[in-house]
Amino acid sequence: MTEPSAQAELLIAGGGIGGLAAALALTRQGAPVQLLEQAQAFTEVGAGIQLGPNVVRVLQGWGLQSALEAVAAWPQQLQARSALTGEVLARLPLGADIAQRYGAPYATVHRADLHSLLLAAVQSQGLASLKLQSVVQSFEEEPTGVRVSCVGENSAAQTLSAQALIGADGLWSRVRTLLLKDAPPRATGHLAYRVLVPQKILPHALRCQDVMVWMGEHMHGVQYPVCGGDWLNLVVLTESQLPADAQGWDLPRSPDAVAQDLRKALRGTCSPLQDLVRYMEGWRVWSLCERGIVQGSHHMAQGHVALLGDAAHPMLPYLAQGAGMAIEDAQVLASAWSERSLAVPQRLQHYAQQRWQRNARVQQRAQRNGQIFHSTGLMRVGRDWGLRSLGARLMDIPWLYGAQLSAGKP
């Protein structure tokens, strides 16, 4: 692990996409950081991520255009399709069209690839200390910063101090629990069945280089290319009953149980979708959990402690902006941190004030999309009619894709 060239100004809890994005954005501003990751290695699970132009612009601004081009796919359109009939209800042009409107294209990427390129960029900056097997236990505010108690390798206790602590430790954030003292996440009753396969093993009719959303009743599916288009990511989201404490990406479901679940969820759907699902192997099952909508800046920063990404505002995946909002958070946090004339609590409040309303809006839109994607009866009929009638105008989101963030210093 790399060591910083100066005493860390900030401690970052969590070495996922949000934590690494924060470390990169802050070190680009010249701020030394120490990142604490509880796992034994920096890894990410196998799943895809969609990156709207609002996110790609940030990554380009961090000098990651070439690294992203090496691993991402660049879909040319987003299709909304009926899962029941297979009809294409509407299309949103992506590629050069969306890049011209919003200053960057729409990308799809393997989560592990995005994580790796962020990790490499952080290490190349030379201002980050990356510590594995470090779990935050508690923190205490001090007049000039925060003191953090951790358990490190071999269960060794350690105490670290910095000007600020950033909780980027995900949905089940320990830092959030200590800061806000709120209830744990709650299960939504929705399950995500995720799978990645090489496109070359699929029949030509099932290969895909675009984003397709299949909307049915009580379910929907999303497919898109990753790994430069060589692999296909598919997620089928269903409604089911599981224990409220079900956590994580890998719920204990056997292949036979998964196949049975998917047959039930896809009953009555069109042959192309069912054929695609039957060809896929190696499914991983994830129980979707949520917290309440962000209600104010105090939910993202208090004193010398701030929250970022899923620790602050976990997103349901129905707008494909979870990783995107964490990356935006990192950019705005770094810009606020550069305001050296302000005291640390003021900088963190400035960050939170700039972010909480946008994050709340995205959370609300994602919740609403989940209802629309899974709608039944007259609501489903109205959904399909609206997509046929309004097409791209209904699918485009200018307030999301076109937002300009605080740029900070280069």
- Residue carrying the six token digits 């952080």: 122
Q: Which position among 224, 318, 351, 401 bears the catalytic label?
A: 224
- DSSP states of 241-279 as a string? ---TT--SS--S--HHHHHHHHHHHTTT--HHHHHHHHH
Q: What is the Cα–Cα distance from 132 to 153, expressed in whole angstroms?
A: 8
Q: At residue 330, what are phi and psi to the nearest 5 degrees?
A: -60, -40
* 318 flagged as catalytic: no
Q: What is the Cα–Cα distance from 67 to 58, expressed in whole angstroms?
A: 13
Give the bridge partners for 130, in sequence order.
35
Is 104 exposed, middle or buried (CB count within 10 Å of its CB: 0-12, 13-18, 19+)? buried
Tokens encoding 364: 């609300």
Q: Count other C-beta atoms under 10 Å from residue 244's C-beta.
A: 12
CB burial string 289-319: b at 16+ within 10 A, e below = bbbeebeebebbbbbbbbbbbbbbbbbbbbb
Tokens encoding 181: 């003292």
Is there a contact between 172 and 135 (Cβ–Cβ < 8 Å)?
A: no
Is there a contact between 111 and 44 (Cβ–Cβ < 8 Å)?
A: yes
Give the bridge partners for 13, in sequence order.
36, 167
Which residues are catalytically annotated?
Answer: 224
